[in-house]
Amino acid sequence: MRPIRVIACSAAAAAISISATAKPRIYTNAEYGIALPIASGELLCRAPKNEHDHGPALLLGTSSTRGCRDSGHHRSIAIFATYTIEAEDPPSYLNDECTRGAMGGPCQPAPAGLEIAGLASASARVNHPDGRIEIVVVAQAGTPDPAFDPVVPPFSYDLSLYTTPEHLEEDLRVFRTVLKTIRLSPPGK
């Protein structure tokens, strides 16, 4: 078994709405311990109030909020958090996602250096048949729960970039910034 991604990052982001303000913004999620600074010009998509918030999406290269309803098919970065339901390290989890999970593999190596500072991470790239590119970084965090597994962190995170070949370098710069600035500090159990 592996951590469950509710349908997939793109499907989880399918029912999100826009939130924008003029002052500097930081997306926070206390349940999963996420803090993400939102740069000027990035459109933040949040979960609607009537849905469980597993993390935000950022739309890239647009001023339209329509992409919030289906960020996996628009240039975007999706952050998805869930509780770990099986003892599995990030490389094994990523392999499951590539071979039978939501990424639709086959997975190829991701660009070098994609990781979340301070956390064991794994990354991969999928070139989809329609030309879209998906790059994902997975990690786990939190204090292990001895009642579940004394070693495995209780929270799993997927950070995904959805882009096109012509925007890959530009969007990778934004993705690298997200990976460097996101803070994942889940509450202890």
CATH code of 9-184, in short, is 3.40.1000.10
Q: Is the pLDDT of residue 164 over 90?
A: yes
Using a 10 angstrom Cβ sphere, with 0-12 exposed, 13-18 middle and 19 or more buried, the burial of residue 113 is exposed
Residue 180 has pLDDT above 90, yes or no: yes
Q: What average pLDDT does this structure show over 43-59?
A: 87
Looking at residue 22, its pLDDT comes to: 46
What phi, psi does 174 have (nearest 5°)? Answer: -65, -45
Domains in the chain: boundaries: 9-184
* Higher per-residue pLDDT: 95 or 122: 122
d(C-alpha 81, C-alpha 79), whole Å: 7
Euclidean distance between CA atoms 161 and 57, whole angstroms: 10
Instruction: For 160, list phi and psi in degrees, rounded to 5.
Output: -120, 135
Q: How many CB atoms lie within 10 A of CB 77?
A: 27
Residue 166 has pLDDT above 50, yes or no: yes
pLDDT bucket at 89, cuts 50 / 70 / 90: confident
pLDDT digits (tens, 9 = 90+) for 99-129: 766 666 678 999 999 999 888 889 999 888 8
pLDDT single digits (tens) 77-88: 999 998 877 767
Hey, what are 134's tokens? 């998906």
Whether the per-residue pLDDT at 13 is higher than 50: the answer is: no
Place of tokens 């599995």: 88
Residue 47 clears pLDDT 90, i.e. is over it: no
Top pLDDT among 91 and 184 is at 184
DSSP calls for the chain: -----SS-HHHHGGG-EEE--SS-EEEEETTTTEEEEE-TTPEEEE--TTS-----EEE-S-S-GGGGGGGGGSSEEEEEEEE--S---HHHHHHHHHHHSTT-S--BPPPTT---TTS-EEEEEEE-TTS-EEEEEEEEES---TTT-SSS-SEEEEEEEEE-GGGHHHHHHHHHHHHHH-EE-PPP-
Give ∠ CA 98-126-80 in degrees, rounded to 5: 65
pLDDT of 163: 95
The percentage of residues in the chain with a pLDDT greater than 90, rounded to a whole number, is: 34
Determine the residue type at 95: N
**Global pTM exceeds 0.75:** yes
